[in-house]
Amino acid sequence: MKPKKTNTATKTWEMMQCSREVLGATCMQKIFSRGQSQINRYCSSPQHEDHQRNPLDRLHLLFSKLEEEGEKELVIAALNHLCGSIGYRVQEQQEIIPDKLTVEEECLDDYPEKVELDRLITTNAAPELVRRQGEHTCREIMETVTSYEEHCKKKG
């Protein structure tokens, strides 16, 4: 086994270049059903006149357009599918901020999410749908917990 090299790629074309180095050009050609010239274009700097938008850039554009159209859940599902190949899932980076004015309202806000989770389970929905609903339910519950913590701080 060869020693692992630290990957310092930060741009998508660099990621593609590193992928080609690791997997080899032939493997990349098979994966993308593209010839050597096209793979080289994906791996070249945008400053190079032959450069073309690579699949990572195209996915970024696709996900951005979907999010603009209000399809954030579809983007999350696609990202989770991609992350699944290495055993990961996407996680929201934002701080959890309650979206209701009172703890009581936050508690009531949890209920529909939990009901939907239970409905998906009892109707034998796809495990991925159940997992995503579980994540929504957990987020709602954490909004309630945060609201309660803020309420307690105010009381002293």
The 3-state secondary structure of 4-32 reads CCCCCCCCHHHHHHHHHHHHCHHHHHHHH
Q: Does residue 126 sit within a domain?
A: yes
Q: Does residue 14 sit within a domain?
A: yes
Main-chain phi, psi angles of 57, to 5 degrees: -65, -40
Determine the pLDDT at residue 133.
94
Task: With 0.75 as the threshold, say if the pTM is over it.
Answer: no
Q: Does residue 35 sit within a domain?
A: yes
124 and 86 share a domain?
no
Counted domains in the chain: 3
45 and 60 share a domain?
no
Q: If you average pLDDT over each of 5-19, 39-53, 129-143, which comes out highest? A: 129-143
Structural domain harbouring 74: 54-90
31 and 66 share a domain?
no
Q: Does residue 95 sit within a domain?
A: no
The helix (H) or strand (E) run that includes residue 104 is helix 103-122
Q: Does residue 96 sit within a domain?
A: no
pLDDT in tens, 75-97: 999 999 999 999 998 988 778 89
Q: Does residue 98 sit within a domain?
A: no
